[in-house]
């Protein structure tokens, strides 16, 4: 496991999703923590060369917030992937009717 320093930074993306009728900001970790100069360079390239919106830089600190964000992110991803073959067939059938 890599050891990250408290002076490292990582890039996050922020998007808004509607959950139970309420607009909720959702933050997604886009990179691993790395040195400040490299992080700022990468952020500027992504913003201006790739025209990515709603991304920002966060300081790693003690890593508590970073690990919590990764944990929440993996829960969202797992929840989105739990489809059975029957459900997929049903979705395909509905699309073919259109």
Question: What is the per-residue pLDDT across 16-59, written as a single tens digit (0 to 9) for each?
Answer: 988 888 998 899 999 999 999 999 999 999 999 999 999 999 99
**Is the confidence at residue 2, as pLDDT, over 70?**
no
For position 18, what pLDDT does the model report?
86
Residue 3 included in any domain = no
* Number of structural domains found in the chain: 1
Residue 67 included in any domain = yes
**Is the confidence at residue 1, as pLDDT, over 60?**
no
**Is the confidence at residue 72, as pLDDT, over 80?**
yes
For position 44, what pLDDT does the model report?
95
Contacts of residue 13, Cβ cutoff 8 Å, sequence gap at least 6: 27, 28, 30, 52, 54, 55
**At 57, which helix (H) or strand (E)?**
strand 55-59
For position 20, what pLDDT does the model report?
86
Domain assignment of residue 20, given as a range: 9-97
For position 83, what pLDDT does the model report?
75
């Amino acid at each position: 496991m890599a050891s990250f320093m408290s002076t490292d930074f990582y890039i996050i993306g922020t998007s808004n999703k509607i959950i139970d009728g309420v607009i909720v900001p959702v933050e997604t970790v886009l990179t691993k923590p790395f040195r400040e100069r490299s992080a700022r360079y990468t952020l500027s390239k992504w913003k201006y060369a790739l025209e990515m919106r709603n991304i920002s830089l966060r300081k790693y600190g003690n890593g508590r917030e970073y690990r919590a964000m990764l944990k929440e992110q993996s829960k969202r991803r797992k929840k989105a992937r739990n489809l059975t073959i029957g459900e997929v067939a049903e979705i395909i059938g509905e699309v073919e009717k259109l």
